[in-house]
């Protein structure tokens, strides 16, 4: 009977030793994972720490660019209007010159009439 108790105690001790070894390995794995997560969190913090200021500065810059773009659009519209007027003026000028040169050519082509003196 004593042998059975000793054998059972040894088996229970071996099972407890195996469980303790597994728990110890699990603790090491969890500690390594925690270390990796801590390093990742520190790196993420160092990278993203300045992000709110950078985003704010970017938004201010974008707003400034939008305003400048609107100003440039207005200037572009004015330049397009001026160019349209210049093109129209050029067309009118060419047309007037053509008409003037045609009328001058007609005058040159007309035969002179002899006037009779009475």
- Mean pLDDT across the chain: 90
The DSSP result for 66-77, as a single string, is HHHHHHHHHHHH
Q: Where are the domains of the chain?
A: 1-38, 63-108
**Burial environment of residue 61 by CB neighbours within 10 A (0 to 12, 13 to 18, 19 or more):** exposed
- Please state the rounded mean pLDDT for residues 50-69: 95
Q: Which long-range CB contacts under 8 A does 55-62 form with residues at least 24 apart?
A: none
- The pTM assigned to this predicted structure is 0.47
Q: What is the mean pLDDT of residues 79-96?
A: 92
Residue 98 — very low, low, confident or very high, per pLDDT cuts 50/70/90?
Answer: confident
Is 95 or 19 the better-scoring residue by pLDDT?
19
């Amino acid at each position: 009977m004593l042998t059975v108790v000793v054998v059972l105690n040894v088996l229970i001790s071996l099972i407890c030793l195996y469980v303790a070894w597994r728990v110890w390995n699990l603790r090491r794995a969890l500690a390594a994972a925690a270390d990796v997560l801590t390093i990742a969190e520190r790196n993420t913090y160092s990278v993203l720490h300045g992000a709110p200021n950078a985003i704010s500065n970017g938004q201010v810059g974008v707003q400034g660019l939008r305003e400048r773009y609107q100003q440039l659009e207005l200037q572009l519209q004015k330049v397009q209007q001026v160019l349209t007027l210049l093109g129209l003026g050029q067309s009118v000028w060419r047309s007037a010159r053509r008409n003037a040169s045609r009328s001058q050519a007609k005058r040159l082509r007309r035969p002179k009439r002899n006037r009779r003196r009475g």
